[in-house]
Chains A and B, each alone.
Chain A
């Protein structure tokens, strides 16, 4: 029987080889080859890994649209990258991914699944464990000066660190608070001195402010990790938590959790909060508070710059989140971080870029953080030096920013980092109580069981 030897054969050899076999034999061998190709293509994601040539351009994915509503923010990114590119051989190229696609879509997930993730990208603490446990975060500590490490606030850094090593550098700190409409307060005969300090006072005030087409207050109602982020402070205020300090057992079934679930439920049951929202979400202050859809809105510090840029004439005020009886004031410190892809084209250069941009003791690095937090956006700085400099430059002199910096930020705790399975359980618990009228006690029990069942088989970095 003739054998087909295709390796290193010239066209003559090939034709001689083909001449030597019958048509039936050719069909048989062709069929086998096709079967092999089909099977290998089906299983290719499991077995085939292609090597990429070394490159001198790193991709940087983020969601601040060029020439979009947040022009100053995209300019900050452009300037940052331009400054790096002017002084380094390895270049960085910005790539804009629409906000919704970045946070809730498939762009990042499919890119990483196919081994084509960006070299540099931004993540929130809510997604830290997904990427850390996936082994795609590069350690940034070796590229940082000791002084710079100490310059970051510890409560901001803890959720970006594992075993004392830094894997993400925050560009901002975004505490949560309540924003209110001065016009709505005036109409209800209320003033700044009436702002509620307790949950009971808050509900009472929400009743007074609910009128006609306006709701008294607004909390997040869309399921997902943003909703859990906004709800955590209410749980913490009463001493509740997601897990025990070692992160191995659930602590979700606690009086603190139950009362927080009930508080959000009461706002809906008493018809003082909307089950829905206008605009992009409850983070969107202009579409909701600014339009008069609600009188008080649970939103973060970013709302200050959003109102400054998009609703200049809107009169508003800010107050810290009200607390339950015997509770302690708490806020949740959100914010995005620069991270470097450990499976990217050049993880070391990517890590150096992150540190150079946000985590060096160089003047331009500190100033970059100041500019982002006080000019491009309205955030508390994650660095002590930048906060001092920003304060000296008047970045925190307005009443809302001063309130955030002096009163709300010190009560803040870093946004928890939990695996998606855990925040899904918490989100489902909030949804069930808030919108479906479920019993908060039973819901907390069920949630705790689900979290325990997940943690029993969990082997990733600790939950915080």
Chain B
């Protein structure tokens, strides 16, 4: 008996060609929408809003910025395709190369600085001491204040002669310095303020990592006679590797992209003195918005993105994708 005749005998559908086709489609549909496919669809639907947001606000601007790098853009509607000229100019621009040097020093100091202070504070506020909630809040508090406000306050605190820091130094017998006016000191001063501002945030991340480590490990080590340093190096640090990876990755990206430094530098030093705090991101900003060299700025920004990608890939490769399997 063929399919159509069987359907007719069963009385489920009139023996018409259209009905059979519809039933076949329904059957196919039932088998197509398996449980796993439905779950996959649900997952995609959940991801969709983020995906669309990232596409519109990240991917398209990135592609646009990348393409701008091949144009000479005057900032008044004039675009001229110039191929790789902007990229070529970049390698012969002493100010850009200088800004890369400043950025390297900044990253090399900031990332370990944030790691050490963040972890140090987390170890400190993990202790069972009175008013622990207050201490934690105090350390985290700078992070919730506007960066511009932070920059303005520190600018006054660090001012020559009459600033609070110099007054304190003179009180204990040291000579005051021009923290933001001396090219040898300005980057250090900006770094110190950046670390002070961000350390509370990384403290919270490390704290959550520390709280994941079972106390039994420490108790067992204590019974075996391990001292605090041995416990720190053999228990805390190894078990904090996933948190460490996250902190290093996030702080490196933040340092290279200058996301937290830009506002501080803009307000505190404006890239000076003598370009000593002109990070790559600040120089890119100057080229785009002060000199109207949007194409050149886009080319430099693209190269910073490539450097960031390379660092991220290297970090993933070094840490085997952040999984940190021991042995």
Residues of A bordering B, CB below 8 Å? 38, 41-43, 45-46, 49, 104-106, 109-110, 112-113, 115, 130, 133-136, 213-215, 221-224, 274-276, 278, 293, 343, 420-421, 424, 428, 431-432, 435-436, 438
Contact = CB atoms under 8 A, between A and B. Distances in A.
A40 B183 CA distance: 46
Contact of A41 (B60, B77, B182): B60
A278 B160 CA distance: 10
B274 interface: yes
B63 interface: yes
CB-based closest 4 A-B pairs: A275-B181, A134-B76, A435-B273, A436-B274
Nearest to A431: B274
Interface in B242-274: 270-274
A274 B160 contact: yes
A420 B292 contact: yes
Contacts of B291: 420-421, 424
24 contacts: A38-B60, A42-B60, A109-B289, A134-B74, A134-B76, A134-B78, A136-B76, A221-B273, A222-B270, A223-B270, A223-B271, A223-B274, A224-B270, A274-B160, A275-B160, A275-B182, A276-B159, A278-B159, A420-B290, A428-B274, A428-B275, A431-B272, A432-B274, A436-B276
B64 interface: yes
Contacts of A42: 60, 63-64, 67
Given A113-B294, A435-B272, A46 B71 contact: yes
Contact of A130 (B78, B79, B292): B292
Interface string B172-208: 0000001011110000000000000000000000000
B6 interface: no
Contact of A134 (B63, B71, B75, B178): B75
A432 B278 CA distance: 13
Given A45-B79, A213-B162, A221-B181, A106 B67 contact: no
A105 B289 CA distance: 7
Contacts of A428: 95, 274-275
Contacts of A109: 75, 288-289, 292
B161 interface: yes
Nearest to A424: B291
Interface of B: 60, 63-64, 67, 71, 73-79, 95, 156, 159-162, 178, 180-183, 270-276, 286, 288-292, 294
A115 B272 CA distance: 32
Contacts of B95: 428
A133 B74 CA distance: 9
Contacts of B76: 112-113, 134-136, 343
A225 to B, nearest CB: 9
B39 to A, nearest CB: 22
Nearest to A341: B76
A17 B140 CA distance: 61
Contacts of A105: 289
A276 B274 contact: no
Contacts of A215: 160-161
A222 B272 contact: yes
A89 to B, nearest CB: 28
B273 A275 contact: yes
Contacts of B288: 109
Contacts of B161: 213-215, 274, 293
A222 B271 CA distance: 9
A43 B71 CA distance: 11
B270 A113 contact: no
Contacts of B162: 213, 293
Given A274-B181, A278-B156, 15 more contacts: A45-B64, A49-B77, A109-B288, A112-B75, A130-B292, A134-B76, A134-B78, A213-B162, A221-B273, A274-B178, A275-B182, A420-B292, A428-B274, A431-B272, A435-B273
A274 B181 CA distance: 8
A275 B274 CA distance: 12
A444 B135 CA distance: 54
A115 B77 CA distance: 7
Contacts of B181: 221, 274-276, 435
Contacts of A275: 160, 178, 180-182, 273
Contacts of B73: 113
Contacts of B77: 49, 113, 115, 343
A134 B182 contact: no
B176 to A, nearest CB: 10
A215 B292 CA distance: 37
A221 B272 contact: yes
A431 B292 contact: no
A250 to B, nearest CB: 17
Given A420-B290, A420-B291, A435 B182 contact: yes
Contact of B75 (A38, A113, A276): A113
Contacts of A38: 60
A222 B290 CA distance: 15
Nearest to A420: B291
Contacts of B75: 109, 112-113, 134
B166 to A, nearest CB: 9
A115 B271 CA distance: 29
Contacts of A130: 292
Nearest to B292: A130
A298 B74 CA distance: 35
A136 B76 CA distance: 8
Nearest to A113: B75
B178 A106 contact: no
Contacts of A274: 160-161, 178, 181
A276 B272 contact: no
A435 B63 contact: no
Most chain-A CB neighbours within 10 Å: which of B73, B160, B180? B160
B79 A46 contact: yes
A134 B180 CA distance: 36
Contact of A276 (B71, B180, B290): B180
Contacts of A133: 74
B7 to A, nearest CB: 25
Contacts of A214: 161
Contacts of A343: 76-77
A423 B230 CA distance: 58
A181 to B, nearest CB: 16
A109 B95 CA distance: 22
A45 B160 CA distance: 47
Contacts of A41: 60
A435 B183 contact: yes
Nearest to B63: A42
Contacts of A431: 272-275
A363 to B, nearest CB: 37
Contacts of A46: 71, 79
A436 B60 contact: no
Nearest to A427: B272
A438 B274 CA distance: 10
A248 to B, nearest CB: 21
A120 B251 CA distance: 44
Contacts of B182: 275, 435
A427 B162 CA distance: 27
Contacts of A136: 76
